[in-house]
Structure 1
């Protein structure tokens, strides 16, 4: 894999493992790393890759507290680690369970090296917390950290680079696979995506898959809205569960997870 420059000084690195995409924004005085991969060894690899691009001091932004986005943070310390204010509580509550689940998954898949590295990893807790917005001056450019609402989790943080027209969306946007609803808020997700689009990006970096354009995001937003409507009809008795699954724009397993998350 290699870095792809999606805007001046704005880079994406895409990994075959879980089709994860991470980011790097380089300013005149410092750099911002966006997500840190899924274990301590993967974090070290990413840190070395960042140093192939820039020797500037770095900060880290975590888009949300799922293991594949943040269990590699130790490799970047000491550094400011930014996240939404609800992210530390999520990590404290779920990190051990996430680790156990995915270690078992990798062992079952025969990926014993990844399983061993993950078993020895724990997320570094973010120490710079964002409620709604924080602006970071990287030297000659400002990067915005924004919490736009409930969606993939209750603590999604997007990273906007206005001078490049790029937004790192985390898993609020998925390319190449359906959205993940395990910790999601399906009824709120469409309006959160509306707020993302209102930032006016020309390129949106999905948490998994290749960067996309606003039309792709509008299509996914419409699918999310349709799922929310189906869930409302199910709860109101206008649809059976089988009918709801049949009408969903997403696969059956994804739909069932999402419907169980409706409140």
Structure 2
């Protein structure tokens, strides 16, 4: 299917494997590619798709360190690659260890053949809180809005469009395996200050708008207070997860347990 334009010079490819969104921003003097997919084959396919759209010099941004968004970096190793410093630290770990860990969880998933062939390629440039890329006729703003889906979520804002990575998720419950559920609502509050009424590109699923983000923030804020109250009452993780699931059944049992467990970790002061 390839890229489709959602705003002038801003294109999104909703890649079928894991329903990941890849964004491409075109400017007068360059282009920005947001995320690089999972495997060498996928990344090669992505490179062809990008070059079918533009031959402009390319800069890459990783929204976070999860494999489905950055394990394709090696195909773009001749480009500047930007990411939050926590993402850069994660991707600087031993490549074989990282790929083996992902393979053990995802290796049998259709479309992810080749995970063990990935050479994890860390970003070349780090962002702590913000950075702006100049494409000549437009500025692309990279912002870290706080802890949320991961330690190193990076949001890309350009001309009223926000590319949110997995801070926003459509079509499936938010994933909490590496998350900070008590901080996530605040990160979405900051994201809402950026998005006005323009499109928001989630990490997975269909492009959404402000109302969807507001609703997801509301749900996560409710989950936040459920976790805090349960922890204060001395309940264990399983009991609070059952309560969370009764309030938000769409989470599913595994996601609820994961969210509450991560919330308890936050309350303990650990990372």
| TM-score between the two structures when normalised by the length of structure 1 | 0.93
Cα RMSD for the two superposed structures? 1.7
Give the 4+ runs in structure 1 shifted more than 4 A: 93-98
> Which residue does the alignment assign to 1:168?
163
> Which residue does the alignment assign to 2:184?
189
Mapping of residues 204-243 of structure 1, within 5 Å: 204-237=200-233, 240-241=239-240, 242-243=242-243
Is it true that 1:156 corresponds to 2:153 in the alignment? yes
In the alignment, the residues of structure 1 paired with residue 181 and residue 108 of structure 2 have an alpha-carbon distance, to the nearest angstrom, of 30
SS at 1:6 equivalent: strand
> Which residue does the alignment assign to 1:34?
34
Deviations 1:173-220 (A, max 9, x none): 000000010010000000100100101341000000011000001011
In the alignment, the residues of structure 1 paired with residue 178 and residue 244 of structure 2 have an alpha-carbon distance, to the nearest angstrom, of 20
Deviations 1:25-61 (A, max 9, x none): 0000100000000011211110110001101010000
What are the ranges of 5 or more consecutive residues in structure 1 without an aligned counterpart?
Answer: none
What are the ranges of 5 or more consecutive residues in structure 2 without an aligned counterpart?
Answer: 267-271
| TM-score between the two structures when normalised by the length of structure 2 | 0.90
Cα distance change of structure 1 residues 167 and 93 upon mapping to structure 2, 3 Å threshold: same
In the alignment, the residues of structure 2 paired with residue 238 and residue 193 of structure 1 have an alpha-carbon distance, to the nearest angstrom, of 28
> Which residue does the alignment assign to 1:84?
84
Deviations 1:93-125 (A, max 9, x none): 48645522443455544x4x733x111002211
> Which residue does the alignment assign to 1:260?
261
**How many correspondences in the alignment?**
258
